[in-house]
Amino acid sequence: MNQLDERLIKVIPSERQVMLQKTEFYAFFHFTVNTFTGMEWGDGTESPKVFNPEQMDADQWIRAIKAAGMKGTILTCKHHDGFCLWPSKYTKHSVKYSPYLNGTGDIVKEVAWACQKAGLKFGIYLSPWDRNQETYGQGKPYDDYFVAQLTELLTGYGDIFSVWFDGACGEGPNGKRQIYDWKRYYDTVRKYMPGACISVSGPDVRWCGNEAGYTRISEWSVVSADLSVAERVAALSQHADDPSFKQRVISSMEQDLGSRERLSQEQHLIWYPAEVDVSIRPGWFYHPEEDDKVRSLENLMDIYEKSAGGNAALLLNIPPTPKGQLHENDVKRLRELGEEIHKRYGKNLAEEAENHVREADQWNLLEGVQTDDYETYYQGKGPSAEFKIFWKTPQKISAVILKENILKSQRIEAFEVLSMKNGSPITVYKGTTVGYKKIARFPQVQSNMLIIRILDSRVEPVLSFIGIYP
């Protein structure tokens, strides 16, 4: 073991980071006064009277995302316009001063309760940029205000799995910008909800670098500690009201964040996994003219397999309509997405196979990778490994899922999948990183044997799961 690899594999996730990565796929709900004004970024001058979702149905939201296979949701409790979806004691720019339920409504409570009933996780988005609050840009007075609202959310709505901070920082109503006291914000979250992940301008989960659903070919969770500096995230975040969000990649984000070469000179390393945030429509808030622009099933599956199946979490936004419900087109697509995910990955062919590993020039029974957990796993004898999955009759195969035991860090750097054709092995997939989860998808083959080779790893690979799918 060289010194660099020894350093790299010492970096492991916290319990909250493991929880977030296991959540894998969850929803974003962008809902505020913008839903009623047609804006993407409100300016804070909206009258609360415009907010009145007369057919509000949080249970319908949650049923729809659960049908897609999602395990939780994050609600925009306050976006840049400063309008609060809960009756905050600290502002009149809130649902309390709207016509909704004659000022007695609380959207945050409704969504949190709907999640709890359905067994899904609930998270909050709270924008530090507040275009309505007069103390914005005044330093501590605004930080006091923001922390007070953050505390309301952290103490009044049950368990919270994610606190999502946008890095956007523009001018407030007084023309000033605020220098965010990130440490104070983080300390508040840790005090009241220590199990929650702080994303994306935060220390637990990093932004993937774009809002178009793109992911890196090699996505590393072990990266330089300087990536967690919130000011850097803020500097690279959105800077203009852009309702299209089409194929918008931040070019200044590095493609190589975690290779040996990239990290060889870094003094401080951290576990900092990626999250992909993308909207099911061109915009993040609902616009009726986009009802026919819902992403196709094929596109959503591609995003899912490359993000949730590429060592990143997937945060998919579905914007509710002014009625307070998800549009039927979005609901239909979510149902189709869940059905397609189950169709592709509901049956693990490896459960009916003989699994072996090559050790010391002989094939031994492979154990520890049959169950999707970290209690059992296979640890190799060196930086490479070879596995053979064998069936008595030929199987139709188009995907392999590999998962590392991330409690022992991320190690695999290169692998390949081969099938047998006329008695000879043929490469059907070549990959690089694995991490929490890798979906290796390829044109369907029919074979009674698959060979999986780990070609390079930071010391011995540690696999917790191997799945084979038709």
Residue type, 377: Y
Domain co-membership, 334 together with 403: no
63, two tokens: 């049923």
Taking the C-alpha atoms of residue 304 and residue 300, their distance in angstroms, rounded to an integer, is: 6
CATH for 454: 2.60.120.260
Q: Which of residues 345, 374, 398 is at a domain's end?
A: 345
CATH for 201: 3.20.20.80
Domain co-membership, 169 together with 256: yes
Domain co-membership, 151 together with 233: yes
Domain co-membership, 339 together with 465: no
Taking the C-alpha atoms of residue 140 and residue 184, their distance in angstroms, rounded to an integer, is: 11
User: For residue 239, what are the domain limits?
Assistant: 3-345
pLDDT in 10s for each residue of the chain, 470 residues: 688 888 999 999 999 999 999 999 999 999 999 999 999 999 999 999 999 999 999 999 999 999 999 999 999 999 999 999 999 999 999 999 999 999 999 999 999 999 999 999 999 999 999 999 999 999 999 999 999 999 999 999 999 999 999 888 888 888 899 999 999 999 999 999 999 999 988 899 998 766 666 778 899 999 988 888 744 444 444 444 444 333 333 233 578 888 999 888 888 999 999 999 999 999 999 999 999 999 999 999 999 999 999 999 999 999 999 999 999 999 999 999 999 999 999 999 999 999 999 988 889 999 999 999 999 999 998 899 999 999 999 999 999 999 999 999 999 999 999 998 888 999 999 999 999 999 999 999 999 999 999 999 999 999 999 999 99
- Report the DSSP pairing between strands 121-126 and 72-78: parallel
Q: Which of residues 279, 312, 345 is at a domain's end?
A: 345
Q: Cα angle at 63 between 299 and 399, to 5 degrees?
A: 40
Domain co-membership, 163 together with 239: yes
Question: In 170-198, which positions are buried (b, 16+ CB within 10 angstroms) versus exposed (e)?
Answer: bebbeeeebebbbeebbebbeeebeebbb
Domain co-membership, 246 together with 367: no
Q: Which of residues 325, 345, 365 is at a domain's end?
A: 345
Name the pTM for this structure. Answer: 0.93
Q: How many domains does the chain have?
A: 2
Domain co-membership, 318 together with 369: no
Q: Identify the DSSP state of 117.
A: H
Contacts 24+ apart (CB under 8 A), 46-49: 46/81, 46/83, 48/83, 48/92, 48/93, 48/94, 48/95, 48/96, 48/97, 48/98, 49/97, 49/98, 49/99
Domain co-membership, 271 together with 379: no
Domain co-membership, 267 together with 377: no
Domain co-membership, 286 together with 244: yes
